[in-house]
Amino acid sequence: MKKTLCILSICAVIAACGGNSNTGNETDNTTSGTTEQTTDDNITSTETEAGSGSETIEVGSDKGKELIAQSDCLTCHKEHDKLVGPSYEDVAKKYTPTTENVDHLITKIIEGGKGVWGEIQMTPHPNVSRDDAKEMVKYILSIK
């Protein structure tokens, strides 16, 4: 019975994280003349320590908190407790709020990935715009 319950729980989490539901937040992925435009070639797969030449950004975003609440993020992540994926607090401890780290985390949200926090893969969210993902990251990096 426990084995069946465990398997059903895992299937429910996988199904919830894999949804491509449209929450009406789709926006154009372009920015208007800002320096935030990057290509995937500029994204690094390692975090950057503060003071290593990357510009520190201001964190905290009410919009980011709202976007997370409207998405499926809370199926796998909690603010202060590990669930399927790391807590947002642990992410904030690992990544300093630099432009390089923000770009890296934006890419992780949109493209998914695995191996940084264990072998469970983070589901890609291709319907999330870079602007919305940036707001989410700014909120996550503000959690202490």
Torsion over CA: 128, 129, 133, 135 (sign) = negative
Measured distance CA(133)–CA(97) in Å, rounded: 14
Of 2, 99, 1, nearest to 48 by C-alpha is 99
Q: pLDDT at position 1, please?
A: 58
Count of positions (residues) in the chain: 144
Residue range 2-18+52-140 forms a domain whose CATH class is mainly alpha
| 37 backbone φψ class: left, alpha, beta (φ>0; ψ -120 to 50) | beta
- Alpha carbon 5 to its chain's center: 28
Q: pLDDT at position 121, please?
A: 94
- Going residue by residue through the chain, which has 144 residues, state the pLDDT in tens, using 9 for 90 and above: 555 544 545 544 444 444 443 333 333 333 333 333 333 333 223 333 344 457 888 888 899 999 999 999 999 999 999 999 999 999 999 999 999 999 999 999 999 999 889 999 999 999 999 999 999 999 999 998
